[in-house]
Every structure is written in structure tokens, then in C-alpha cells.
Chain A
Amino acid sequence: MSRIFAIGKYLFLESIRDRLFIALMLISVIIVAGNFAMDFFEQGIQDRIIFDFGSSLASMLGSFLCIYLIVSQIRAQLDSKQAYFILASESSRAHFIMGKWLGAVLFTAFNMLVIFGEIFLIIYFNSRIISYISLIYFYIVMLKLSILSSMTALFSVTSSLVVAPSLSVFFYFIGHWGSYIAFALDKSGGGYYTIKTVEFISAYLLPNFKYFTAEHVINENFTGAAEYLTMLTLYTVCANALLLSITALVFRKKDL
């Protein structure tokens, strides 16, 4: 375990010193803060705009961060032989994968925490309301991004520097809009079995991100939020365990 934490810790340290990531975070923070200036809307509407816009931006930044971090820390380091420092040590290949995943998730969580913290504070100073939904959505986004990180780790050990992020982005979209794709196929007159297959694959075989939104919690006015979050957490734990195990198994015998 200590080796996994060490790999995660140094990935975090490296990333926090990378000017690119700091610049990205600062830009996001400034954009979210810009919403504060929209004082021509009613207070409730302004809060909603700040939350919707800020959380969408955070989710996008987080997705980019995990894909970029995992691909650069796994695929690029394997190509540049940088990874030999870990792989020729006492640590196993599974430690390498788990450590990199942990570090990437921690660094993404740090970035998300800054942005959601900002949204929370802006709403608080604007309307004196404690925005619980910001905290809940931060948690939901992190669950989703942890699955995206595992998925990218799998593609990083099985494909190239260009293909790995492309596949991650592709399956990320399918994960969100698989049911809409099936709906669109239905409207365009696609065959019954094609539609059912697309629905089945996107809902059960691939990571399904359809329910990783705050919408359900808001619509139900926080009733059943705990149960909903527990289900999402369980789904995330299972998906991560499965994806990371497959990644470690595939990577175990790979020639480097």
C-alpha cells in the first residue's frame, strides 16, 4: 500500500508544479468568478446560473485533467522509458497502475475542490445560502471522474498516445449519451435489435454516466439523496475495481 501512496503522492507533487495545470485552474477560477458580475438577474436565477455554469465548467476541466494526466503519466512515461524508474524497482506493475490512478484522482479532486469551493462561496456571499448541492455535485463529479480515470488507464496500457485519449473521450460521450444515441437511431428508423443492442451496451457493458448528475437530487428536493449517493458510490467502486483489475492483468505481461 505504501508504494501505491508514494506513486500517487509524487504524481500529485509533479502535477501541482506543472504550470499548465496551474494556469488551467486559474483560468477556470476567473471564469467562474466572472459570473458574480451578473447582478442584473434575480438572486435565485443568478445562483442557479453560477451553479450550472460553474459545475459544467468544472466537470469539463476535470474530464480533461484526468484524461491528460493518466495518458501522460502512463502511456507517455512508458514510451519515454520514464516509467522504468518504478517498473524496475521492487514495486509491481499493479502498484504502478494503482498509484498513478490514485495520484490522478487526488489531483483532479484538488482542482474540483477549488472550483466547487469557489461556487459555494460565491453563492453564500451572494444570497447567504449554504449551497449543499455544490458539495453533493462535487462528490458526484469525482465519482464519475474516477471511473473515467480507470477507463483511460486501461486504454493507456493497451493503445498509443493518440488512440488512448481518443477512446476515452469517445466512451465518455457514449457513457453520457448512450440512451440518446439509441433514441436518435429509433427516430431515424434504425432496426429494433440495433437500438436494443446500443441501449444494452451503453447501459450495462460500458461505464454508464447517465445518472451522475445532481438533477435527481435537486428534483427530489434532497429526499432519498443518501440512498441515491450510496448507489452511485457502489456503482463507482465496482466499475473502478473491474476496470483497474483488467488494466493490471493486461499490463502484467506486456513487453516494455
Chain B
Amino acid sequence: MNNAIECINLSKNYSGNLTEREKDAVNRLNLAVAHNEVHGFLGHNGAGKTTTIKMIIKLITPSDGTVKVFGKDISDCDYLNKTAYVAESVNFYQFLTPAEILDYSTALNPGSFSGLSRADLEAKSRESLEETGLYRWKDTRIEKFSKGMRQRLALALCLFREPDLLILDEPGSGLDPDGIATLLKIIEKFKKKSKTVFFSSHHISEIERVCDKVSIIKYGRLLETIDLASKRLSAAGLEERYLQLMSAEAV
């Protein structure tokens, strides 16, 4: 069976200029995320997590290698109607309201909402905002929102679109403990619905709680993919393994 995401020898090289040196952000990375799996992506700052994610969603063109989503090369297929992405620092249009943002998303992603009536969309919008605790503020302009509330809105958007593949880039940053709990609940919900979630994080406890597998990268190279479900690693165990891998590479 095809994987939901497959990176084969994926590389991204930034050629140097007068102010910056040449850099391999991602170096021959091989990664596979199976269908219906919650897959964590762990690595230090600058390891290449965000670059890899951006290549998967076509925001960056790889220097070399291939990315396949749902078994097809991303350059030949249109998979973004089945995929939702939440960026590391969420920034929405400040003069719009959450209700308008969801409506805007409907217009931008007609494939995700085909066959739904206006009433269905309104019910779906209400449900997603309620689930993320934003329904009270549905008509409040985003300029008045805190960073955490904006992050919640990004999660509401994911719920609203209900994609087959959800890609999250450090979704916990800026969230309070309550927000983290909501985030994990949403990931659990996607898991129950047999959707695929791929998310990067610095928080080992988040990853350990919801992920089936975790891939650890360093300087753009994959060090190991750990099957958390079969190894039954605790957060402490995973942290220990992570630190071990990092120091082993340093030696």
C-alpha cells in the first residue's frame, strides 16, 4: 500500500551569496509516513524540519530527490484539496473575523467542500469554532486575538476542512496548556477518523502522547524512525533516545 507521504533522497541546498554561506538545509532525506498514522518529526532548531514540510506542500522546490503524496509525485498531482497545513507562526488577516476566515477557506478550497450546502458549511463552521473554543469570538476581528487564539483558529481551519492529510509545523508554539490539550484532542480526533497527521515539534511529551511513529532528524539527515506503538516508549524513554542519537552523531 502507498504511503501518505514519501520523501526519497530529498535535498534542499541554498547556494551562498555575499552574506551567507552555502547550506544544505535537507540532505538526502528518506522518510515514509504511512496512511492513518500520526507521525512526529523531531529535531533541533535548524535541523530542516520546516524546510522538509515546505517541500512537501510545494512552498519550496527541492534541489534534488522526490516527494510523493498519496503515492504520486507532487509535481504531477493535485493533492492540496486533501491536505491542510498549519505554519509555525500563524498569521491571519487581522481585519477579518474567524467566521470570514472559514468562509474565505471555503472559496479557496472548492475541492474540499464540494457537495456541501450552505447550511452544511455553516454547521461545520460552528462545530469547528466551538471545538477550538472560538465560537464566542466568531465575529471579532483577528487583530484583537492573542497568539494562542490565532493558533486555535488555525486548528479550527483544519477541523473545518477535514483533510485526509494534516501537516502541522510546531503547532504547540504559543499555546497555553489548555490550548495544547485542545491540539492533542484534535490530533486524536483525526487519528480516530483514520486520517494521517504529520507534525513537527520540540515537545517530546506531545509527540509521545499522540504519535504512532517519530522520525528524528539532525542537520537535514534522518537519524532514526522509532515505532512508538511497538516499543512502548515513555516520554522519558523517548527523550533519552533522542539525546543519545544527538550526542552519538556529535561524537
Asked if A90 and B110 sit within 8 Å, CB to CB, the answer is: yes
Asked if A13 and B95 sit within 8 Å, CB to CB, the answer is: yes
Asked if B108 and A86 sit within 8 Å, CB to CB, the answer is: yes
Q: Which of A77-85, A109-117, A230-238 contacts B (4 or more CB under 8 A)?
A: A77-85
| Docked pose: A136 CA to B111 CA in angstroms | 42
Given contacts A81-B87, A84-B85, A89 and B54 within 8 Å (CB-CB): no
Q: Which residues of B contact A13 (CB under 8 A)?
A: 95-96, 100
Asked if A90 and B93 sit within 8 Å, CB to CB, the answer is: no
Asked if A14 and B57 sit within 8 Å, CB to CB, the answer is: no
Q: Which of A2-10, A28-36, A123-131, A168-176 contacts B (4 or more CB under 8 A)?
A: A2-10
Asked if B96 and A10 sit within 8 Å, CB to CB, the answer is: yes
Asked if B61 and A90 sit within 8 Å, CB to CB, the answer is: no
| Docked pose: A10 CA to B81 CA in angstroms | 21
Asked if A90 and B100 sit within 8 Å, CB to CB, the answer is: no
Enumerate B88-125 residues with CB–CB distance to A below 8 Å: 88-89, 91-96, 100-101, 104-105, 107-112
Asked if B61 and A84 sit within 8 Å, CB to CB, the answer is: no
- Nearest B residue (CB) for A73: B93
Asked if B107 and A81 sit within 8 Å, CB to CB, the answer is: no
- Which residue of B80, B87, B95 contacts A89 across the interface (Cβ within 8 Å)? B80
- Which residue of A5, A85, A87, A91 contacts B92 across the interface (Cβ within 8 Å)? A85
Asked if B95 and A90 sit within 8 Å, CB to CB, the answer is: no
| Docked pose: A61 CA to B174 CA in angstroms | 39
Let me know if A255 is at the binding interface, CB within 8 A. yes
Interface string of A53-85 (1 = CB under 8 A from B): 000000000000000000000000000111011
- A residues adjacent to B (C-beta < 8 A): 2-3, 5-7, 10, 13-15, 17-18, 80-82, 84-91, 253, 255-256
18 additional A-B residue pairs with CB within 8 Å, beyond A81-B87, A90-B108, A91-B109: A6-B107, A6-B108, A13-B100, A14-B95, A14-B96, A18-B95, A82-B92, A84-B87, A85-B104, A85-B105, A88-B87, A90-B109, A90-B110, A90-B111, A253-B61, A255-B54, A255-B60, A256-B60
A-B contact pairs, 28 of them (CB 8 A): A3-B107, A3-B110, A5-B107, A6-B104, A6-B107, A6-B108, A10-B93, A10-B96, A10-B104, A13-B95, A13-B96, A14-B95, A14-B96, A80-B91, A81-B89, A82-B92, A84-B87, A85-B93, A88-B80, A88-B85, A89-B108, A90-B78, A90-B81, A90-B108, A90-B111, A91-B109, A255-B54, A256-B59
